[in-house]
Amino acid sequence: MQTLALFCIACLLIIATESVQAEKPLPASVDLRPQFEKLGLSPRQQGRRGTCSVFTVTGALEYALAKRRGVRLSVEFLNWAGHKAVNRNADGGFFSELWKGYEVYGICPEADLPYRSEFENALQPPPASLKKAEKLRLPALHLHWIKEWNAKTGLTSDQLTEIKKTLAHKFPVCGGFRWPMRAVWEEGALQMCPAEEVFDGHSVLLVGYRDDPAFPGGGVFIIRNSGGNGSDGFLPYAYAEKYMNDSAYIAPQK
């Protein structure tokens, strides 16, 4: 009985410790860009194609696999895999479709299937690329949803906090947004706009955040934007709260 009691006390102490750790305040800022650069994962541009979501998911996959593999991954292959897995033939796709493609086919290195300037509906990866992609298909990785797709709502305060927690744990976050028809940037930050001036939509990879009362909502997310000019930008919390359609991250199963 004494042993059991000691065991229970130990369990309670562990639970209490975990509770304290869970309630630890979030840092005021997180920036994963130095880690991306250290891993050789510089920003890439999508050109005139509608493949922002593919670049976003590929970027998250590259980061998740980089420590183990250290190689740039093929946006073109993931685009093909997503189409193949869900029987779709339009360029780009939803995060869920692209993840299904990865689950079925994996992803090959960029050098095996480089990104094209235009969409090729008849594209078929060669057998050697399919074999390499299968080796990079890791069942241990999962797509974890923070907010499933809904173009009629933005983020709740809890969801915004969950994104910040995820970034603080060093996982970049895939984000889909209703986006300005004419995006205005001031000092690198996307400016707010009314609902009648947005379209659905655009995807970017969130790679950090900074609390700052000078921005709407009290801070900004640091974003990697394949639709931009090759430089990273900042997206106010208030913009995400109003216009974020979905958010997810790639990590091992909890």
What pLDDT, in 10s, does the model give residues 167-213?
A: 999 999 999 999 999 999 999 999 999 999 999 999 999 999 999 99
What was the pLDDT predicted at 23? 60
**What average pLDDT does range 34-57 have in this prediction?**
95
73-111 per-position pLDDT tens digit? 999 999 999 999 999 889 999 999 999 999 999 999 999
Instruction: Compute the 3-state secondary structure of the chain and give helix, strand, coil in percent, each to the nearest 5.
Output: 40, 20, 35
**What average pLDDT does range 34-63 have in this prediction?**
95
The CATH topology of domain 29-252 is: Cathepsin B; Chain A (3.90.70)
pTM to 2 decimal places: 0.89
Query: 204 pairs with which residues across the strands?
Result: 175
Q: How far apart are CA 104 and CA 52, in angstroms?
A: 21
Q: Is 208 left (phi over 0), alpha (psi -120 to 50) or beta?
A: left
3-state secondary structure of 208: strand
**What average pLDDT does range 34-54 have in this prediction?**
94
What was the pLDDT predicted at 113? 98
